[in-house]
Chains A and B, each alone.
Chain A
Amino acid sequence: MDEIKHNDRPALRDPRWARLAIFVLGIGFLVLFVVLPLTTVVVEALRKGVGVYLKSLGDPDTQSAIRMTLSVAAIAVPLNCIFGVAAAWAFGKFEFRGKSILLSLIDLPFSVSPVIAGMVFLLVFGLQGWFGGWLREHHIKIVFALPGLVLATIFVTLPFVARELIPLMQEQGADEEEAARMLGAGGFRIFWSITLPNIKWALLYGVLLCNARAMGEFGAVSVVSGHIRGLTNTLPLQVDILYNEYNMVAAFATASLLAGLALVTLAAKSFLEWRFADQLALTRR
């Protein structure tokens, strides 16, 4: 269809030199900004051979950073998933006043600098913060510990699932659910049998993006982590520490794990877009 639309319309054909220039400029730009940085990560990580690469990944601090990153994502992603589904249920299936303002509030974390997303939790839970004294008396650690990392990560990844599901569920409307209700199905039955099958690929899509950001977030977690080696370092923070120690091979080896995650995410995302385009929200940014 597209092929016919553009190739068989001579009026839309650009001159040969223009086509060549656009091709060279576009591909050249992407090679420079996307392919070369990825290649650099691999080359620098393997600079001293596969043995050193694997050894630096086996370092106890890096291992602990891997566990930390997985733990943070394992808590933050499901919570944002539940939030996204709840928000999409309220916004997609019901009509009420003030919807558009509430919708823009959900997108708010995308306009807040990651550094600020982290610092707000210092102001609430830090030693000088609102609950700082109380938390200290009760020996509860939030900032500079796992809960702080999780909170900061939830903040920056909050919109991902919701913004995939809300436009989709608004588009799908409530007719099928209402029919199920008329036939006597209860709320959970409606959700499991009608809504979830309709949104499953969009949900997976949102979870993929949410997870990639949760595992890769740097600024927000950097502020609340306190950089305690082997304790509160996530993978991106570990990259930072190793890089600042001029331990380049280890820094790039750690970075290669994150780059691998990004490539897997990208592949899965492209597959979903290609295979289930009709079941994803069409009104994406």
Chain B
Amino acid sequence: MTAVAIRRPFRRWSVLPGFGPALGFTMAYLSLIVLIPLTALFIKASGLSWTEIWGIVSNSRVIAAFRLTFLASAAAALVNTMFGLVIAWLLVRYRFWGRRLVDAFVDLPFALPTAVAGVALSALTAQNGWVGSLFAPFGIKIAYDVPGIVVALIFVGLPFVVRTVQPVLQDLEPELEEAAATLGADRWTTFSRVTFPALLPALLTGFALAFARAIGEYGSVIFIAGNKPGQTEIVPLLIVIKLEEFDYRGASVIAVVSLLISFALLILINALQRWLGGRHGRN
């Protein structure tokens, strides 16, 4: 066993046992559950010619779904970024009664099943709901229309910005802001010229994480969206509809496009996190 390990050039020698079985099991499990099934998706989609793929993707209903998913996700991530900064600031900089409870509740969207969030938010924002009835007199419809989709996506993305900004704000040297104040900057100038630039990588990372999550979200949105084809139909719903019609090829093509977008976002997020880590580490 040891002799074999020494000959293996890819691993540093260790006295501990179990490397082979542990890595072997990890890789086998990961392949069986994630990698091979995902490959099946790509193989299914690659069985089509370019014209067939183009035919599926260029369909007006598909384009409308991608457009809606993108815009609603971006709007929700933007709202999350602004309020995420406010909440992170509140939790790090101020001391008040119930702060721990508020801190814990930020993670609720991670713990609450999306279906529950979906039914609760749609009941809340429907025309006769507590919040919806406040907007109804002005002719603003939230549930069963585009604003409802944004509301659901804001809910699922809520923790991301708070949780990326919070540790950075926590570790920010107070001396930086004091130096700015000493040099005559008022509180706003200090914030916009010193604090905000230091938080920018974390804010961008949080935005990207919330956006990436929103792109794939299904459970909470379908209850509140109204799901009208071409108008309030998001990409994951379109995939489900195609699957229910047994149009597996169409579903696969849309899924592959959506996956490629997610992977591109993942690479972007990793780059952002390295940037964040680098800046964060140097301080």
Contact = CB atoms under 8 A, between A and B. Distances in A.
Interface of A: 3, 5-7, 9, 11-12, 14-15, 18-19, 22-23, 25-27, 29-30, 32-38, 40-41, 44, 79, 82-83, 86-87, 89-91, 93-98, 102, 104-106, 108-109, 111-116, 119-124, 126, 128-130, 151, 154-155, 158, 174, 177-178, 181-182, 186-187, 190, 209, 212, 215-219, 222-223, 235-237, 239-240, 243, 248, 251-252, 255, 258-259, 261-263, 265-267, 269-270, 274, 284-285
Contact of A11 (B104, B130, B158, B181): B181
* Main SS at interface, chain A: helix
A263 B236 CA distance: 28
Contact of A14 (B93, B112, B240, B262): B93
Nearest to A98: B10
Contact of B95 (A7, A91, A112, A243): A7
A44 B223 CA distance: 16
Contacts of A236: 113-116, 219
A109 B86 CA distance: 30
* Main SS at interface, chain B: helix
Given A94-B16, A104-B266, A113-B262, 9 more contacts: A11-B182, A33-B158, A36-B131, A38-B108, A86-B23, A113-B217, A121-B37, A178-B16, A218-B115
B29 A109 contact: no
A78 to B, nearest CB: 13
A23 B95 CA distance: 11
B104 A120 contact: no
A29 B174 contact: no
Closest 3 CB pairs of A and B: A216-B113, A113-B216, A218-B219
Interface in B122-159: 123-124, 129-131, 154-155, 158
A22 to B, nearest CB: 5
Contact of B111 (A3, A155, A237, A269): A269
A106 B31 CA distance: 10
Contacts of B243: 119, 122, 223
Contacts of A285: 163-164, 209
A187 B129 CA distance: 59
Contact of B94 (A19, A82, A119, A123): A19
A129 B251 CA distance: 13
A40 B120 contact: yes
A11 B33 CA distance: 54
Given A34-B108, A40-B130, A25 B236 contact: no
Interface in B1-48: 10-12, 14-19, 21-23, 25-27, 29-30, 33-38, 40-41, 44
A25 B116 contact: no
**B interface residue count range (under 10 / 10 to 19 / 20 to 34 / 35 or more):** 35 or more
Nearest to B105: A34
A96 B115 CA distance: 42
| Most-contacted residue by chain A among B22, B116, B265 (CB, 10 A) | B116
Nearest to A41: B120
Contacts of B182: 11
B56 interface: no
Contact of B114 (A29, A40, A98, A216): A216
Contacts of B81: none
A93 B26 CA distance: 14
B115 A95 contact: no
Given A96-B10, A219-B218, A285-B164, A239 B115 contact: yes
Contacts of B204: none
A71 B12 CA distance: 41
B100 interface: yes
B267 to A, nearest CB: 9
Contact of B216 (A86, A114, A124): A114
18 contacts: A11-B174, A12-B178, A18-B187, A19-B94, A22-B94, A23-B90, A41-B120, A83-B25, A90-B22, A96-B23, A102-B26, A113-B215, A113-B217, A115-B236, A119-B243, A251-B119, A252-B119, A285-B209
Given A23-B90, A105-B34, A258 B112 contact: yes
Given A113-B218, A129-B40, A223-B243, A87 B110 contact: no
Contact of B34 (A12, A23, A108, A218): A108
Nearest to B246: A128
Contacts of B255: 113, 115-116, 119
